[in-house]
Amino acid sequence: MKNKIVRIKDIAQKAEVSKGTVDRVLHNRGRVSEEAREKVLKIIQEMNYEPNLIARTLKTNKIFNIAAIIPDPSIDPYWEDPKTGLEKAEKELRHYGISVYTYIFNPYQVDSFLKKAQEATQAAPDGILLAPVFYREVLPFFNQWDAIKIPYVLFNTQIPEATPLSYIGQDSYQSGFLAAKLLSFGLPDPCTVMIAHINEDIPNSAHLIEKEAGFRQYFRQRKLQDKYQVIRLELGNPESSLFTDQLNLIRQQYPDLKALFVTNSKAYEIAFYLEQNQLTDMKLIGYDLLPKNLNYLEKGIIDFLINQNPKGQGYWGIQQLTDHLVFKKEIPPIKYLPLDIITQENLSYYIHSEA
């Protein structure tokens, strides 16, 4: 039966039963003798029958409402790509009954997140897609969604205590490990290497903690602690004069500072500082293909960017929920996206790439 569409009619003919009997066996409803059931199930297996889930979905005309709780791209441009990705997925899946409602919150205000998460919960959606940037505050919502059996998918940040349908994003620990490996090439010996967290609530940011842990582990695993001193700095708002003061002070304290790892998408803020101070002997690595980051990558001030494929995170989040809700598929609990290393030389291949 290879390459041939198997119909209920075909199964019924081979099993010598009615189409109604086959239908009752397939949907486990109505009365069917055990003999007929076993016969039908055997024929189904022999003929490799797969139900036409698409046709079934179109026939029911059911609407599946998905709530996407995401940070505001107008406040942090990083979130524009996940929003674009989930909108692309909704457009492709609309004819299967998928409808996505976005709940946009301020990524720097906990109250804004709490308000939008509560609104989404009260709407009683069929599924939820969430970027859990506030670690402590999101935990009670996980318990609430589990209790009322709303499946949810997390992207960008993996939360160990959660039991989502799936997590989509990078392995934060491995991305930090990779960043350390890239920075270590060609470094003078000895020197200082800095982990820079920019404008983040670190105790409440699980993914950034994992990135730092992976970064530090590289130097421990390679027994490089005697060669390279790894320090960390939590920088404030780049628009404040304190930001520049912090960087000036750290350079005074560590005159052998030669490499910087920015744990979020704001490497361009450090790059601007390096450019203004004509510091050409420092290596810099960060995340994400934001226009400002790309500008400094092309100038050679940023050496590497690790692409987290934020557009793909939003796209696959909606896709995973659709596979679960519409097609009743088994969903892998983790979908790690590749750790793409972006340089001046391969940048053009990524700028216009799709999710």
Find the CATH number of the domain harbouring 284.
3.40.50.2300
- Specify the residue for token string 């003798």: 33
Structural domain contains residue 347: no
Share of residues in the chain with pLDDT > 90 (%): 74
Residues of the chain with pLDDT under 70: 1-5, 27-29, 50-61, 352-355
pLDDT in tens, 87-115: 999 999 988 889 999 999 999 999 999 99
Residues 181, 303, single domain; the answer is yes
pLDDT of the residue at 301: 97
Same domain, 176 and 138: no
Same domain for 285 and 215? yes
- Rg, the chain, Cα only: 26
Q: Which run of H or E residues covers position 249?
A: helix 241-253
Q: Is residue 280 part of a domain?
A: yes
pTM to 2 decimal places: 0.79
Whether residue 45 is found in the same domain as residue 77: no
pLDDT of residue 231: 98
Q: Which long-range contacts (C-beta less than 8 Å, at least 24 apart) are formed by 238-242?
A: 238/198, 238/199, 238/266, 238/269
Helix (H) or strand (E) holding 304: strand 304-307
3 occurs within a structural domain: no
Q: What's the confidence (pLDDT) of residue 355?
A: 52
Same domain, 281 and 197: yes
Claim to verify: residue 96 and residue 25 sit in the same structural domain: no
Closest by CA position to 215, among listed 266, 246, 187, 181: 181
Beta sheet of 228-235, edge-to-edge order: 228-235, 191-198, 257-262, 283-287, 304-307, 340-342
Confidence (pLDDT) at 5: 64
User: How far is Cα 333 from Cα 17, in angstroms, rounded to an integer?
Assistant: 40
| β-bridge pairing 304-307 and 340-342 | antiparallel
The DSSP call for residue 288 is: -
Q: Do 301 and 319 belong to one domain?
A: no
DSSP 39: H
Question: CA 303 to CA 298: how far, in whole Å?
Answer: 9
For residue 181, being part of any structural domain is answered with: yes
- 178 and 303 share one domain: yes
Domain identity same for 226 and 252: yes
Q: Is residue 37 part of a domain?
A: yes
CATH (domain of 19): 1.10.260.40
Could you give the CA distance from residue 332 to residue 344 in angstroms, rounded to a whole number?
Answer: 35
Residues 287 and 192 in one domain: yes
How many Å apart are CA 313 and CA 320, to the nearest integer?
10
Containing structural domain, residue 28: 8-51
Give pLDDT, residue 54: 55
In a domain, residue 2? The reply is: no
CB crowding 273-284: b at 16 or more within 10 Å, else e: bbeeeebeebbb
Q: What is the pLDDT of residues 233-283, one digit of tens each?
A: 999 999 999 999 999 999 999 999 999 999 999 999 999 999 999 999 999
Is residue 215 within 8 Å of residue 179, measured between CB atoms? yes
Statement to judge: residues 159 and 105 lie in one domain: yes
Half-sphere exposure of 164 (CA within 13 A, CB side): 27
Residue 352 domain-assigned? no
Strand locations in 58-171, DSSP E?
64-71, 98-105, 127-130, 152-155, 166-169
Q: How many CA atoms lie within 13 A of 312 on its CB side?
A: 19
Q: Are 147 and 69 in the same domain?
A: yes
Question: Would you report the helix, strand and coil content of the chain in percent, each value rounded to 5?
Answer: 45, 20, 35
* Residue 228, phi then psi, degrees to nearest 5: -125, 125
pLDDT of residue 47: 81
By the 10 Å C-beta count (0-12 exposed, 13-18 middle, 19+ buried), 223 is classed as exposed
Residue 162 maps to a domain? yes
Number of compact structural domains in the chain: 3
pLDDT for the residue numbered 3: 46
Q: What is the DSSP letter of 330?
A: -
Q: 25: which 2 tokens?
A: 């066996």
